[in-house]
Structure formats: C-alpha cells, structure tokens
Amino acid sequence: MSKKIVIAAPRGWCAGVDRAVEIVEKALSKHGAPVYVRKQIVHNLHVVRNLEAKGAIFVDSEAQIPEGSVCVLSAHGSAPAVYANAKAKNLKLIDATCPLVTKVHVEAQRFSKQGKTIVLIGHEGHEEVEGTFGQAPDRTIVVENAEEAAKVQLDDPGNVAFVSQTTLSVDEAMSVVGALRKRFPLITGPTKDDICYASQNRQTAVRKIAGLADLVLVVGSTNSSNSNRLVEVAREAGAESHLVENETGIDQRWIDRAETIGISSGASTPEVLVDRVIDFLASKGIVEIEEVRVATEDIRFPLPASVS
C-alpha cells in the first residue's frame, strides 16, 4: 500500500497575521527603512527574516528604538506602559495588534473598572499574556492549567472574572474555565469566546486529520503558541505528532513508520513552508494528497489608517 498525505484546511496564516505582516510592509513602503518592530511581528522566523531583508529592525523593547523613529507593535498586543513609553520617545507608532487580542484587552479593562479580580488563562511569559496582563496588572492573576485553577487563592472570591489567551487549545481552556467555575460559582467571563476563530478552526481540522493519519506534522515555530497546541491536539486524538520549522526538521524514521501523513501549519506559518514539506515528501515518493477541509475562512481585518 502506497503512502499518502492528508492536509488540513484551514491551515497557516490567519487574518490577524496577514494584517500584521502587511502593516510592516506598508510602513516600509510609506516611510522607508528602517522601520522598527517591537518583538517578532508574528511568531515565525521565516517571516521575520523576510521582513528584515526589506528593512525592518526587530527589537525586544521600545527603549531600544531611536527617538522619533517609526515603530510597529506586534500582533500579540502590548501593555499600556509600552504606548506611554513610545509617546515619551516621540515614536511614530503603528499598532499591528490583532483585533481579536484587542477584544480581550477591552474585556480586561472593563472587568478592572468593575473592580473584579481577573483570572487570565494563558501561558506565563507569552507576549500576548504579557500584553493582556498589562491592561490591569494590579488586578490580574495568570493561571496556566486546571490544576492551578483548582488551587488559586483570591481575596474576593465573589467578585471574579476570567479572560483567555486567544491561541489556547479549546479543550484546555474549557477545562480551566470548568475548574474556575467550580471554585468560584459567581465568576463572569467574556460575552463571546476569547479563543480566536483561526485557532479553533485549525484545531478542528487537525483533530480530523489525526483520525486519518499515523503521523501529523505541524509546520510552525517553536515559540508559536497555536502551533504547539496543534501538536497537542493531534497527539490527544491518537496520532504521533511533531512540530517542524520546515522540511529540514523531519526525521526519516517518522516517515518510515507511517502509512498516512497529516500536515497542518500554525496561524503564523507562510504556505511556502508547507509547500517545502510537501515537496520533501514527494522526493520520497509520497505524492498522493487529499485535502480535508472543515471550514472556509474569508475574514479580513482592515488596516490602521496610518498605513492604509
């Protein structure tokens, strides 16, 4: 029996990533190089290197940017302190925060004004979590999993709200929310789920192909939260799964023991990297491909007025 590939759809770039990359390219076209970008614009090194080649300079902090320069804020969102620091340095600020992350920031601000303690479900140290935490740092506690949720101690347990990192596993987030509701029956949450549509769609598609495949390769960067979640979803669905940056990360032994190979990619992964993985497998004689689609995405977010 010949080996085959099943490829997940949707996969790869989401509307927020597409918008963020276009913002940097438009800023370079409008202002010329250099354009400074605070943090990786999206979590994919291939994308970052391409933008660097066009004149973008990536920095860890707004403090590293020369006064008066053009500065793009990454798609993951930033704390209010970052905007204040940028204003003090007279930076020409262009905000590439994903609108779905901005929605979570607005929720955190609203809960803070209501005097609630905010439980932020997410991964400590992730840039998106840092940006959301910064909306109300004195009122926010980060919880990573259901075990932590079952133990968290709050001063006012009757006045609590939760928000979530947008790129979590849906199942993971639901388990944490369940644990929080058990501890704090009066807890309130967002009116609409914080997990973004793209993360949900990609997880659903990966779960579907994992049921058909022995091996699932997720193309994405190691610091990409949503890519890591796809690997977890595939494994939970019963398939062997690995995260690879590109075809060079594929171990031949994985291929040897698989009859059907599933492929997906994180929301910050350009399709060219998926094509390289498919070409690599084709060079091994695996040319039969079936696409498994669970949703069609036609969402597009408008660009900020400063670059449109």
Residues identified as active-site = 128
Q: Which residues pair with 216 in a beta bridge?
A: 241, 262
Distance CA 124, CA 146 (A): 14
Distance CA 238, CA 232 (A): 10
**23 closest CA partner among 51, 57, 61:** 51
Give the CA distances from residue 55 to residues 33, 47, 72, 242, 308, in Å, rounded to whole numbers and listed in that order. 5, 13, 13, 33, 19
- Its sign, for the CA torsion 188, 81, 69, 41, is negative
Strand pairing report for 215-219 and 160-164: unpaired
> Which segments of the chain are extended strands (E)?
4-9, 35-38, 56-59, 70-73, 92-95, 117-121, 140-143, 160-164, 215-219, 240-244, 260-265, 288-293
**127 closest CA partner among 219, 233, 20:** 20
User: Is there a contact between 77 and 102 (Cβ–Cβ < 8 Å)?
Assistant: yes
What number of residues does the chain have? Answer: 308
The residue with tokens 């959301």 is 132
**CA 180 to chain CA mean position, Å:** 23
User: Is there a contact between 22 and 308 (Cβ–Cβ < 8 Å)?
Assistant: no
